[in-house]
Chain A
Amino acid sequence: MAKKTGHYTVVGTRQPRLDGALKASGRAEFTDDVVLPGMLQGKIVRSPIASGKILHIDTSKAEKLPGVRAVITYKDTSGLMSGSDKFLLCENMVHFFGDEVAAVAAVDEDTALEAAELITVDYDPLPPLLSMEEAMAAGAPALHDFMTDNIADEISMSFGEPDQAFAESDYIREDEFTVQPTHSAFSEHHIVLADFSLPDRLTIWTPIQSSAIIKSSMARNLSLTDSSVRIVNLHTGGAFCGRGADKPHHYIAALLSRKAGRPVKIMCTADEEFLVYRGGGKYKFKLRTGVKKDGTLMVMDADLLHDCGAYMETQFILLRFVGSNMQALYKMNASRYSGKLIYTNNPPYFFHHGAGLVAMRFAIDSQLNLIAGELGIDPVEFRLKNAVEKGYITPAKFTYASCGLKECITKAARKAGWKKKHGKLPPYRGIGIGCGMLRSGGKGMYDHDNSSVFIKLEEDGKAALFTGLPDMGQGSHTTMAIIAAETLGIRIEDIKVVAGDTDVTPYDVGAISQRGTFTTGNATINAALDAKRQLAKTAAEKFGVKPAAIIFQDRKVYPKGSPEKAVSFEDIVYATLHSDEGRYVMGRGFYNPPSGQSDMSKYEANTALAYSFGAQIAEVEVDPETGMVKLLRMTVAHDVGRAINVLGVEGQLDGQVFSGMGQTLFEECVMEGGQVLNPSLLDYKLPRPFEVPEIERIIVETSDPYGPFGAKEVGQGPIQCTSQAIANAVSNAIGVPIKELPITPERVLKAIRERS
């Protein structure tokens, strides 16, 4: 049961989402549901080879096909780059299977397909670099002509005195962990509708996590002013870290639209999804850890190699995140890290669900389990011993104003029956624990970190809340409505949320970096307080008291101590509007977390004021003959600061356990020759109902001093715990360390055989 500090009316309830009826009735509008007059269908022509020179592009036949309205190649792009290292449409070289070479827009999809097939491109294939080892080998050719090698980015960080810490360690262990490439696999395919048919005015309909980022990127790259770009972000069919930025198809649709003078829609087909997704690349993580013999953690030293595929895009974020977050979960004296992004001719990667940190958490917590085993310390005790806590300052100067990690560990262990089970299960049954954390309201992902909210009040006492924050399913809009209702002293059904159009809504950096609940939530409080102040002025005049003495509670307004004098909220709104000055109530609020550092190049110091923490315990059963792993139960405890919407928080825990489970037991892009061999939901395995475990949810509330009503993020923190909980459980079941994800049946069998 969640612990409540203070009495809330709306916060902390189980609130069905406000757009539930729209979505459950099929009325919620997604980008593919938008039909504009004269709209054309676009199709992208992609490279069929992983590496090679373009010798010749012939679009003449396509241009003549009846129904074709525009064809573009690099010649139509003025050298536009859709990333720091990617030309939108290739001119001389292609670098991955699927690289964008040309595009057509036609009156219908069949014609567009036919036209695309009529575009002939002659290639001179080159031997592709398909693994990081190949790309880093001495003498390997540089994939990009502006590079001399294939190290797309590299970084080193060191906090504290690692060498000294190793010298003081009693026991040092080194392991290497591998995570195979993965795919975002959201329900709604990548899609864009672009209208660039009027000069200097671009409208984009697309599912996206940040309207602000795509807006400013597209403006800059297309030489437009920011305000001449309008992003309409209707409902978004899932994102899971995969829709954080503009991608080539956005620009391609815009250029086709400009050339044709009509709106153009491009929707990626099922196989294209496995080319445009920018999911998780292959991950090799070498970890060396020093501890004292009593289990005190001293130091971690890690080397990361991450396959970034053909283009780096924004993966430098992952490189930095891993290094700075390594030292954030357990107390240690020092940490050191070096990370490299390696170019290969694989599809460009970014990060999979979990902000690119899941693989690192899997590695760290799996190794800690091995260390605990060698030292004869119970894994739960080991974690409790080293868990960070409130007030602790990490080597990289993260500070924790609230921290429920120990509470999560203890509660999860108790609920799961750890003591009765660990070391006492029958053969091939296992139990394992995994811990994780994630920053809340993180900064540094963009030029600034602003969230702004408007609240307008109608004469009937109802409110409209305007936010630029997308809701990709996580329920952010309902959360904002709850926060506003609580602050204003009204009910959630009194609030509607207006979002998804940058022409209408105020600025918001977006639903990235766990900014929703924390940053936009605080902006919402500020907007509601502003509206409240305007109303309090009217009420104060009416009641003859100071504005500070006015209480807003459950749609009533009264002076403190005299509830019998209460009038309705609606009356005060009405009176304000009908004041002599005609004071229409418009609450405005903004918030930029005052955590200081907002510079991605600096790794120290808090880039966030708050962090969520969690612990999960997995129970598995392994079939020793087939190697198949059945995940029986997950006990999930997460410190969310405050559960603004308990139903929403539960949904996040469930979904992330599911995604974490997928990444751990099932998901792998099987690569060959730069191609994904399993580019469909049939062959790229995600769990289905029969595979889903029983789940026990424990919501821990530590009431963060900076979070809105004490709330912190829950959108990506839980998944940081899942993989290693399951991996540790499997390891426990078969008596062999797990060093690679996903834990496929074959890998399990191999491990069992090697043990015997």
Chain B
Amino acid sequence: MRLPRFEYVRPQALEEALSVLAQSGSRAKILAGGTDLLVNMKQRTVCPEVVVSIKTLPELLMVSSDAQGFTAIGSSANLTDLAANAGIAEKFPAFIQAVRAIASKHIRNMACIGGNVCLDTRCWYYNQSKLWRDSRERCLRTGGSVCHAIKGAARCHAINSSDTAPVLVALDAKISIMKKGEKRLIPARQFYCDDGIRNTILEPSAIVTAIHLPDGNGAGRSSFIKLSMRRGIDFALCSIAARASFNGAGVTDVKLVLGSIASMPIVLEKAAQIITESGLTESAIEKAGEVARTELGSITNLFTSAGYKRQLAGVLVKRALYELREKTAKRGRAKA
């Protein structure tokens, strides 16, 4: 399949990139790994006039620890490099598990973490060639007024299929965003929006420059599980990032975040509350799984039925919690 025509710009520094983006506005798209953008361009869902290449910007390639107790990873960090980074894997095992689960090794060899953090949402009716989409009325996302996934929907319900997004939310990560003359640091939870079209707060002329993972989780455990039809290639049918901290009194700071099931990662408050109150007991875990199903609200039939997704959500919550319990027990045994 052919790419459309475009102008290609390769700034040598971040400052320059931000200027180009500011000038071009929505005429431009940034190109990091290209494994998502170029496919969308071939399908003509995205046809930028200008493509701004940021993969090799030195400012976006740095990995460092900052004074606030965060590890900063530049958004152009290559996924295969990240997956092999033992230091980060030790500190943030769930995050690296998620990175290792992204797409295929070929894709990870080419792609950047920023691309996965900002991954475009997906929908059966959107991620199709122009030929396919021309057979239907334009949908909300392509300039029309209908949603093919949910008849009568007032907003787009395309799904956030990023593997790292739920982990960032679960770990209370922060995201650095820059546009010309402006720099912000946003909690991951606020970065994502419940909208299939504008699924992040990122404006056309802004870019994610780094993600910041909080250090000092010595007392905490985290877990990431991805359920997909096939291993090593597919997007998730549903995924979960879970974390909890442990002190003498019990389990605190429980986070359960579902991914690939809605337009943004879903934080399960009620299910987490059950664990905070009752600890990682078997009955609490089973109950949390049940509650998670109802806490979800309505979900789409995209890629698989809503009922099945609900089932998977409940299963994933339980499995993630059992994993946390297992990790706590191991640590406990190791200490003893």
Contact = CB atoms under 8 A, between A and B. Distances in A.
Task: State yes or no: do A and B touch (Cβ within 8 Å).
Answer: yes
Interface of A: 46, 48-50, 97, 109-110, 113, 269-272, 625-628, 666, 673, 675, 677-679, 682-683, 685, 687-691, 745-746, 749
A110 B5 CA distance: 9
Given A48-B131, A49-B135, A271-B131, A682 B233 contact: yes
B229 interface: yes
A675 B124 CA distance: 11
Interface stretch (B15-23, B90-98, B304-312): B304-312
Contact of A113 (B2, B232, B304, B305): B2
Contacts of A97: 135
Contacts of A272: 131
24 contacts: A46-B131, A49-B135, A97-B135, A110-B2, A269-B1, A270-B1, A271-B128, A271-B132, A626-B311, A626-B312, A627-B308, A628-B227, A673-B135, A675-B135, A677-B124, A682-B235, A683-B303, A685-B229, A688-B232, A691-B231, A745-B229, A746-B307, A746-B308, A749-B308
Contacts of A682: 233-235
Nearest to B135: A48
Interface in B223-237: 227, 229-235
Q: Which 10 residue pairs are nearest across A and B when measured between Cβ atoms?
A: A690-B231, A48-B135, A271-B129, A625-B315, A48-B134, A746-B308, A269-B1, A677-B124, A688-B230, A685-B229
A673 B303 CA distance: 16
B124 A666 contact: no
Nearest to B319: A625
Interface string B7-40: 0000000000000000000000000000000000
A97 B304 CA distance: 23
Contacts of A113: 2
Contacts of A678: 124
Contacts of B231: 688, 690-691
Contacts of A687: 230
Main secondary structure of the interface of B (DSSP, over half): loop
A49 B132 CA distance: 10
Nearest to A113: B2
A625 B315 CA distance: 7
A72 B26 CA distance: 38
Contacts of A679: 128-129, 132
Contact of B315 (A271, A626, A746): A626
A723 B311 CA distance: 27
A689 B232 CA distance: 9
A355 to B, nearest CB: 27
Contacts of B305: 746
Contacts of B129: 269-271, 679
A328 B85 CA distance: 60
Given A679-B132, A682-B233, 6 more contacts: A46-B131, A97-B135, A113-B2, A271-B131, A625-B315, A685-B234
Contacts of B232: 688-690
Residue with the highest number of chain B CB atoms closer than 10 Å, among A109, A687, A745: A745
Nearest to B227: A626
A269 B5 CA distance: 18
Residue with the highest number of chain A CB atoms closer than 10 Å, among B1, B131, B134, B305: B131
Contacts of A690: 230-232
Contacts of B135: 48-50, 97, 673, 675
A272 B130 CA distance: 11
Nearest to A49: B135
A634 B55 CA distance: 45
Interface string B89-121: 000000000000000000000000000000000
A121 to B, nearest CB: 11
A688 B230 CA distance: 7
Contacts of A628: 227, 229
A747 to B, nearest CB: 10
Contacts of B229: 628, 666, 685, 745
Main secondary structure of the interface of A (DSSP, over half): loop
B311 A749 contact: yes
Contacts of A48: 131, 134-135
B47 to A, nearest CB: 13
Nearest to B103: A682
Contacts of B132: 271, 675, 679
B287 to A, nearest CB: 16
A628 B315 CA distance: 12
Contacts of B307: 746
A685 B131 contact: no
A110 B1 CA distance: 10
Contacts of A746: 304-305, 307-308
Interface in B183-234: 227, 229-234
B283 to A, nearest CB: 17
Contacts of A269: 1, 129
Contacts of B5: 110
Given A110-B2, A271-B132, A679-B128, A691 B311 contact: no
A270 B5 CA distance: 20
A113 B130 CA distance: 12
B116 to A, nearest CB: 16
A84 B129 CA distance: 31
A165 to B, nearest CB: 43
Nearest to A47: B135
Contacts of A691: 230-231
A346 B124 CA distance: 18
A48 B132 CA distance: 7
A499 B235 CA distance: 43
A109 B4 CA distance: 11
Contacts of B2: 109-110, 113
A66 to B, nearest CB: 15
Nearest to B315: A625
B136 to A, nearest CB: 8
Given A48-B135, A675-B132, A685 B230 contact: yes
Nearest to A98: B131
Nearest to A43: B2
A570 B96 CA distance: 65
Nearest to B312: A626
A749 B315 CA distance: 13
Contact of B233 (A49, A271, A688): A688
A272 B129 CA distance: 9
Given A270-B1, A691-B230, A745 B308 contact: yes
A100 to B, nearest CB: 13
A23 B227 CA distance: 36
A94 to B, nearest CB: 11
B24 to A, nearest CB: 23
A678 B302 CA distance: 11
A58 to B, nearest CB: 16
Contacts of B308: 627, 745-746, 749
Contacts of B303: 683
Nearest to B309: A746
A627 to B, nearest CB: 8
Interface string B228-267: 0111111100000000000000000000000000000000
A675 B303 CA distance: 15
Nearest to B134: A48
A97 B129 CA distance: 13
Interface in B134-184: 134-136
A679 B315 CA distance: 29
B158 to A, nearest CB: 14
A48 B138 CA distance: 13
A679 B43 CA distance: 12
A158 B134 CA distance: 48
Contacts of A270: 1, 129
Contacts of A50: 135
A113 B43 CA distance: 13
Contacts of B134: 48
A678 B123 CA distance: 11
A449 to B, nearest CB: 40
B328 to A, nearest CB: 22
A682 B303 CA distance: 11
